[in-house]
Amino acid sequence: MGYDMYTVQEIDAEEKAAVEAAAAVTRNAPSPFTMPEGSEERAAAEAERTEAWKAYDAAHKSYFRLNVWGMSACVELMEKIGMVTGQDHPAWPELAAYGLDAYPDDPEHYEGDERAEAEAKITDQGRAYLAAAEAVIAYEPEPIAGIPAHKFYSNDGWLVTPAQCEAALAVWAAAAPELQASVTAERDWWGSWIAFLQHSKDRGGFRVH
């Protein structure tokens, strides 16, 4: 299990081309598993593949992933810096209040024929429920002083808004240089995380899946 985070606005042509080029490099990188263990050739191949994947991650600016332990560490560091808040969200809508006994299937999760099928099946009550749930997911409590920490606790598609990204980045920018250096040294992906927040604030924010 992990957390996949995507900017709200889809990647543009330039980013898509960069991602495809980087993906081609990773596919063509030599496989170390075909080489003798402990050999210089295997070590070189492993290093080449590692660098190729790093380049792929750097090209994919509109996407960021952390596993469960990585997300826990990320939230812990953001709490230490003051980039997240303890602000809560409104209560989730009750299915019974919308005359439902099961969660409706959201057509937005599908494409093509599958989306058309989901559109045909969903009821007005189901659409109303999804709209009420989205209001919880996208809730932006005042004052906007950072990102509500609960948005990193589950894969419910939480919307981290541009304003919340910007507030978190402002806290990071104001942090003491020694704290910044300590955090950056502690997690080698921290610089990429900050870059993702920077990118997201200009791309409609991001969702946590």
φ and ψ at residue 85, rounded to 5 degrees: -120, 170
Amino acid at 97: A
pLDDT value at position 67? 94
**Cα separation, 60 vs 55, whole angstroms:** 9
Answer yes or no: are the C-beta atoms of 157 and 207 closer than 8 Å.
yes
pLDDT value at position 151? 97
**Cα separation, 5 vs 143, whole angstroms:** 24
Answer yes or no: are the C-beta atoms of 203 and 8 closer than 8 Å.
yes
pLDDT band at 19 (very low <50, low <70, confident <90, very high): confident
Q: What is the pLDDT of the chain when averaged over all its residues?
A: 91
pLDDT value at position 156? 92
pLDDT value at position 42? 84
pLDDT value at position 64? 94
Q: At a CB cut-off of 8 Å and minimum separation 6, what does 89 contact? A: 136, 139, 141, 148, 150
pLDDT value at position 57? 79
Phi/psi-derived region of residue 35, left when phi > 0, alpha when psi is between -120 and 50, beta in every other case: beta
pLDDT band at 33 (very low <50, low <70, confident <90, very high): confident
**Cα separation, 9 vs 118, whole angstroms:** 23
Q: What confidence tens digit (pLDDT) does each residue in 39-85 have? A: 888 888 788 888 887 888 788 889 999 999 999 999 999 999 999 99
pLDDT value at position 49? 83
**Cα separation, 186 vs 92, whole angstroms:** 36
Q: What confidence tens digit (pLDDT) does each residue in 122-136 have? A: 999 999 999 999 999
Answer yes or no: are the C-beta atoms of 160 and 139 closer than 8 Å.
no
pLDDT value at position 58? 81
Q: What confidence tens digit (pLDDT) does each residue in 141-198 have? A: 999 999 999 999 999 999 999 999 999 999 999 999 999 999 999 999 999 999 999 9
pLDDT value at position 147? 98
Task: State the residue for tokens 């994947």.
Answer: 53
Beta bridge partners of 207: 6, 159
pLDDT value at position 93? 95
Answer yes or no: are the C-beta atoms of 70 and 189 closer than 8 Å.
yes
Domain extents in the chain: 2-89+139-208, 90-136
Task: State the residue for tokens 């900050």.
Answer: 194
H or E stretch covering 39: none
Any idea of the CA torsion for 91, 95, 99, 101, to the nearest 10 degrees?
-170
Instruction: Please state the three-class secondary structure of 53-85 as a single string.
Output: HHHHHHHCCCEEEEEHHHHHHHHHHHHHHCCEE
Is 118 a residue whose pLDDT tops 80?
A: yes
Amino acid at 58: A
pLDDT value at position 139? 94
pLDDT band at 87 (very low <50, low <70, confident <90, very high): very high
